[in-house]
Structure 1
Amino acid sequence: MEVRQATQDDVPRIVDMSAKFYETTSYARWAPFNPDTVHDLAANLAENHVMLVAEDAGELVGMVGLFAAPFMFNGEVTAAYEVVWWVDPDAQGRGAGKALLQSIEPACAARGCRAIQMVHLSTSPPQTAAIYERTGYGHTESSYTKLLDAEARALAA
């Protein structure tokens, strides 16, 4: 299992993996997946932030992407904010998720980040929070989403 910084050549496969990931989220119920938006996001993360891919026998099987950005309460401090961490279900259990999680610390530190913030979605596997805690992450916040328009509420129902 090799983990490396994504290149622009990886972006189409990242978009494909993102589509599979997105299907598992609650966001998919009210906002359709837009491959053009995700292409631009992945290209930006690969070029300017942290976008790592796990490769097994020449095939991309997982990814983790984070924005390296100023901390909202102190612009002089840089932190990394997770956008996606996903491993193809067919490749799970082969160490890709663990390898990706271990690889983000040096990648984020190289970008001057003082902290990393990972996300736990309502649809995340139950063991995700335990993995974060076991690897040194502390619970800092939870977020809640309210759909504001009738169309989005109808789609989510």
Structure 2
Amino acid sequence: MLVRKALPQDKSRVLMMARSFQVASGLPIPFNAAYASMLFDTLISNPAMLCLVLDDSGPQGVLAAQSGTLPLAPVKVASELIWWIEPAYRGRSAVAMLDAYEEWAREQGCVFVNMVGLGADPLTTRLYERRGYSATERHFMKSI
């Protein structure tokens, strides 16, 4: 398995995984393929954004992120947007993807990297904590 930057020909597979991520997140927001397609195009063309794929005879995982300055301080951070690994490929490949993401963030001049922990998944929490991440805030959402 190889972790690499996504290529234009990865688009359909990445969009399928983005949809799986959206469904698994449990968020009450419908998946929009056209919007996700535009996001993919931006991810692979904007140097302040990243789209990694876990490749094993085709993409089996995706990690998308962006870098930028915080609104209240001149501190550059990288923030994960999507992270999905097909169930059969989970495990050590997650560490390889995090390694590549963190290296990209360092190259971008980021001081911090953010990862999202959807729900209360203890496996994800343990992975993040073992990697040196700490919980910093919790988001709440309400439909109106």
- In the superposition, the TM-score normalised over structure 1's length comes to 0.84
Counterpart pick for 1:96 among 93, 97, 102: 93
Q: Which amino acid aligns with 1:23?
A: V
Q: Which runs of no fewer than 5 residues in structure 2 stay unpaired?
A: none
Q: What residue number does 1:69 align with?
A: 68
Which of 84, 101, 115 is 1:86 aligned to? 84
Deviations 1:42-69 (A, max 9, x none): 221222211111111x221001111111
* Pairwise CA distance, 1:90: 2.5
Alignment-derived partner of residue 22 in structure 1: 22
Matches of 2:53 and 2:3, distance apart in 1: 6
Alignment correspondent of 1:151: none
What SS class does the counterpart of residue 4 from structure 2 fall into?
Answer: strand
1:37 paired residue number = 35
Larger Rg: 1
Deviation at 1:106, TM superposition (A): 0.7
Aligned residues: CA RMSD: 1.4
Question: 2:71 is aligned with what amino acid?
Answer: M
Q: Does 1:132 align with 2:128?
A: yes
Is 2:87 aligned against 1:52? Answer: no
Of all paired residues, the percent bearing the same amino acid is 30
Q: Given that residues 66 and 83 in structure 1 are in contact (C-alpha distance below 8 angstroms), is that contact kept between their aligned partners in structure 2?
A: yes
Name the count of aligned residue pairs: 142
DSSP-derived class of the 2:40 partner? helix
CA distance in 2, matches of 1:105, 1:24: 24
Query: Counterpart of 1:121 in structure 2: which amino acid?
Result: L
The answer on whether the counterparts of 1:7 and 1:47 sit within 8 Å (CA) in structure 2 is no
> What is residue 2 of structure 1 aligned with on the other side?
2
Deviation at 1:108, TM superposition (A): 1.1
